[in-house]
Chain A
Amino acid sequence: LVSNLFAAYILQLFGLFFDRHFGALPGEESRSRKVCPFTQLEIILAMSMASTLSKLDGLSTKVRLRTQLRTHKFFRVAVPGAVTGANLVAAVGESGQAEDEVEAAHLATLLLQFGYLFPVIEDAFTVRDDGTLYRLQRPYFWPSHATQADNVEYAIYLNKRLLRNEQKHGLEEDEAQQYNKLAELLAHIWEFITVQAELQLKQQKEKKKADKVVYDSEERAFWRRRRPGNANHLEEHIQKIERRLRKENALGYKAKIERIKLSLKTKPWLKAIKASDTMVQWVEKLEDYDAFLSPTNPPNPWISDDCSLWLLNTDTVEVPTERRVKRWGLSVHELVKDCIGRQVLETFLESEFSSENIRFWIAIQDLKYAKNEEIESKAERIYEEFLARGAPCQVNVDSRTLEKTIECLESSKNHRHAFFFAEEHVFTLMSKDSYPRFVRSNIYKGVLSAAQQQGSRRLGWRNFVFNMGATKKMPLGNKQTKMSREDTAHASLPKQLSSDSLPVKQMHSNNKSGEQPME
């Protein structure tokens, strides 16, 4: 421990020396950054990674307490201070409160990848839940502690290896290359490095054999994690590094005060319990439409490799599916979200001679999200068509709303949101008045039944709507006739429906001479 502290102290001194010469660039307030070209170790511990590492530190400490390290035998070689993968995974699972073995193994693998433990015999990137032997890395080499791992330390390490038995500790090819490059880069302090290497080796020799073996493997594992080519798990997203350290200045505090005042002023519209209740109810209603909870019909293309579900649900499909049409009945939002739903709603309102509301609303949406250069002309057109006195499709808004709208149009230069008040008014009207009637209407029911009968008849929804629309105003008595016409539609086709949307049902399948019209 003492020798390690001593080495650390010397290295710290050296780290400071290097800070002055190759150290932090001006303006790097919140981070210490050293780039080692050879170890590819960018140590940029922004707060995000630092806090994750401290959590991993905590986990490692718990694992250490739960793990019994002992000497194992690996093909007649004694491996001191080791633990099997199986025991390690169990210890990690307990310490990390893992739900199952898969999670425990995953946590252990993460600890390995971040350098908190390592395989003894052969390097690997995952922890195996079997007899493979692992060691726990000493805290001195933990990523959270070892922020000074730079070129000098690496050079010292490589030197130590060269001073030792070549068979056991000789450098590999890429390490030799790096050694040569470092010898060039650090030539001016090479003597210091070689002296350091000798000193450290001397201290290491004073250890007991088992401790020496363990320490060697720990040091080797540390540097192995930092070789170029290995994923650098300590790397941070650049937005965490680039983010400016915003000093707590007057502006910052004023913004905070504004925000808290706003929060104090904001009265919740609903009590939390009511909000939770409504959310639960909403979610329940939609579970049937959730592909992860209820199987879709046709099946989910990602699973079945068949696109039918998408083909049957495009924006231009003739017959919307039953599920889709049912969804319009859930709320006005679901209806207007769907462009076909909007069209059907418009058709319904047309039949009631009140479609100007929905058309007004749609025009406003178009205005809100239009290009800058089209705003003026669109706003003008909306006013002319829907609001001006004697307008062709005059919408019914109360005088106050109209006043406020005209005010917006006259005062501000940008008319993108000039119809905000009218928009709200009209939408409320639609959702409270038109929508409930729509859901009970024959048009909606007609479209729904067309969807339900889609498979056998293939009649476009417009045709049903046409029928419904045309007969809507007839007295109730005729409703019977309409229904029966529906039922017997397969027997006799009304003449006004265009033939190309109504493929005639073949009565005789072996009749090849052409289509036989039904009787």
Chain B
Amino acid sequence: QKPTTSSSDKKAETSSSSKKAEPAAAENASRAAESIELLAREAEELRMKLDAERNKLNDIPIEQAADRLSPLPHTGIKSRRLLKGHAGKVLCMDWSMDKRHIVSSSQDGKVIVWDGFTTNKEHALTTATTWTMACAYSPSSQLIACGGLDNKCSVVPLSFDDDIQQKKRFRAVATHTSYMSCCMFLRSDNLLLTGSGDSTCAIWDVESGQLIQNFHGHTGDVFAIDVPRCDTGNIFISAGADKHSLVWDIRTGLCVQSFDGHEADINTVRFHPNGDAFATGSDDASCRLFDLRADRQVCIYEKESILFPVNGVDFSASGRILFAGYGDYRVGVWDSLKATRHTTLYGHENRISCLKSSPDGTAICTASWDCTIRV
């Protein structure tokens, strides 16, 4: 069943309500306030109805289903590589599909491409903006996308030419009306998916810079997006300051599912390898697992001793392990099915800003405000 209302209906409604604004200003102001109150009440009533419906469903936590599994073995996870070279806080990183190269961006506008395996820096680019909040590797590993406070996402081809030449080849592909917080290539070098502080997501044609589809529906800044690892779907997910995660249909631009539950901003979202579930990390110091088929939250990962926001989450290749990077400089290694914290990884000296598994699941990479990146 597809939702029947769309953003065009919303526009029609606002234009009719703005026509109401033409007569006497004072009377109009009070009428507007009244209608807001009515809307607020309607929203509240619907929310209570939804909660009542949800409570009716008999819930058995996922931990019970996982009871028969044996606990996680000792994993012996250690920091294997330390990538030093950024002079500013590292805000974002992404893996190349070749499983060893990494691109990272930092607060001082620098974007560095590393061979993670040898720790050598292969490219160093300077963007015109500070706070380069997002960077992404294209599937062919030939392009890099990055952007942030400049409200744009620019794409630059990687080559071993002079870096000055490279600077000239930065091409703005995406343009938003507020900062760009997250970006990724959508399954090919031709399409770019972005999320922005203007509360929208959008798909862009890399070559022409044209907007292909945009996605309206969030009522707050979008902080994170993700696409399932399986090629066979047409959805992606976004989450942000409105504490909701929304599932979108790429084809129609409509929101097909919505999830709530977090008590504060959601900073990060990642699909489960099976493509039917996803995890989110939030300022409320918890991670949560949501199932698309059951249309609900199925698990929460939190602890009394964890007080800081979660800034990055990702799964291991089987989905059994959930890695969470926190603002208290640590990585929590969780048994995603038994909802217990298996171990903690120490090493960073400032908050972790980004965490991603490598494409073949042989490692995770963390980027931190201590200006380093660890594998």
B133 at the interface (CB under 8 A from A): yes
CB distance A275 to B327 under 8 Å?
Answer: no
- Tell me the smallest distance from the CB of B311 to a CB of chain A, in Å: 8
Interface flags for B81-125 (1: CB within 8 Å of A; 0: not) read: 100000000010000001110000000000000000100000000
CB distance B207 to A301 under 8 Å?
Answer: no
Q: Main SS of chain B's interface residues?
A: loop
A403 at the interface (CB under 8 A from B): no
CB distance A333 to B258 under 8 Å?
Answer: no
Complexed CA–CA distance, A274 and B62 (Å): 10
Complexed CA–CA distance, A74 and B335 (Å): 46
Q: Which of B303-319 contact A (CB under 8 A)?
A: 303-305, 307-309, 316-319
CB distance B258 to A263 under 8 Å?
Answer: yes
B25 at the interface (CB under 8 A from A): no
Complexed CA–CA distance, A51 and B321 (Å): 28
A413 at the interface (CB under 8 A from B): no
Complexed CA–CA distance, A351 and B327 (Å): 56
> How many interface residues does chain A have, given as a range?
35 or more
B197 at the interface (CB under 8 A from A): yes
| Contact flag A264-B39 (CB < 8 Å), given A103-B344, A238-B149 | no
- Tell me the smallest distance from the CB of B172 to a CB of chain A, in Å: 16
CB distance B50 to A279 under 8 Å?
Answer: no
Complexed CA–CA distance, A307 and B64 (Å): 40
Complexed CA–CA distance, A365 and B233 (Å): 10
Q: Which residue of B lies closest to A292 (CB)?
A: B316
Interface flags for B352-374 (1: CB within 8 Å of A; 0: not) read: 01000000111100000000000
Which chain A positions have C-beta within 8 A of B223?
Answer: 239
A309 at the interface (CB under 8 A from B): yes
Chain B residues with a Cβ under 8 A of chain A = 1, 3, 5, 10, 13-14, 17, 32, 35-36, 39-40, 42-43, 46-47, 49-50, 53, 57-62, 64-66, 69, 72-73, 75, 77, 80-81, 91, 98-100, 117, 131, 133, 149, 178-179, 181, 186-188, 190-191, 197, 199, 205-208, 210, 212, 217-221, 223, 229-232, 234, 241, 244, 246, 250-251, 255-258, 264-265, 272-277, 283-285, 291, 293-296, 298, 303-305, 307-309, 316-321, 327-330, 336-337, 341, 344, 346, 350, 353, 360-363, 375
Q: Which of A220-265 contact B (CB under 8 A)?
A: 231, 237-240, 242-244, 246, 248-265
Which chain B positions have C-beta within 8 A of A199?
Answer: none
Complexed CA–CA distance, A392 and B57 (Å): 52
A-B contact pairs, 6 of them (CB 8 A): A259-B217, A263-B258, A272-B291, A273-B60, A337-B231, A371-B208
CB distance A256 to B36 under 8 Å?
Answer: no
A277 at the interface (CB under 8 A from B): yes
Q: Which of A303-336 contact B (CB under 8 A)?
A: 303, 307, 309-310, 313, 333, 336
Which chain A positions have C-beta within 8 A of B42?
Answer: 253, 257
Q: Which residue of B lies closest to A126 (CB)?
A: B349
Complexed CA–CA distance, A385 and B11 (Å): 41
CB distance B305 to A266 under 8 Å?
Answer: no
| Contact flag A279-B291 (CB < 8 Å), given A51-B264, A239-B179 | yes
Instruction: Choose the segment among A280-288, A483-491, A506-514 that binds chain B (4+ C-beta atoms closer than 8 Å).
Output: A280-288
Complexed CA–CA distance, A103 and B330 (Å): 10
The residue that B293 contacts in the complex, of A251, A254, A268, A313, with Cβ under 8 A, is A268
A291 at the interface (CB under 8 A from B): yes
CB distance B316 to A290 under 8 Å?
Answer: yes
A398 at the interface (CB under 8 A from B): no
CB distance B230 to A372 under 8 Å?
Answer: no
Which chain B positions have C-beta within 8 A of A289?
Answer: 317-318, 361
A269 at the interface (CB under 8 A from B): yes
7 cross-chain pairs, A with B, having the tightest CB-CB distances, nearest first: A369-B188, A286-B318, A290-B318, A253-B39, A275-B294, A97-B304, A276-B65
Which chain B positions have C-beta within 8 A of A24?
Answer: none
Chain A residues with a Cβ under 8 A of chain B = 47-48, 51-52, 55-56, 59, 96-99, 102-103, 106-107, 110, 231, 237-240, 242-244, 246, 248-280, 282-284, 286-287, 289-293, 296, 300-303, 307, 309-310, 313, 333, 336-337, 365, 368-373, 416-417, 420, 427
Which chain B positions have C-beta within 8 A of A59?
Answer: 307
The residue that A254 contacts in the complex, of B10, B309, B350, with Cβ under 8 A, is B10
CB distance B362 to A301 under 8 Å?
Answer: yes
| Contact flag A293-B75 (CB < 8 Å), given A253-B39, A263-B258 | yes
Complexed CA–CA distance, A310 and B91 (Å): 28
Complexed CA–CA distance, A239 and B329 (Å): 19
- Tell me the smallest distance from the CB of A273 to a CB of chain B, in Å: 5
| Contact flag A290-B317 (CB < 8 Å), given A263-B50, A271-B57 | yes
- Tell me the smallest distance from the CB of B77 to a CB of chain A, in Å: 7
CB distance A243 to B232 under 8 Å?
Answer: no
| Contact flag A283-B258 (CB < 8 Å), given A239-B181, A258-B217, A272-B296 | no
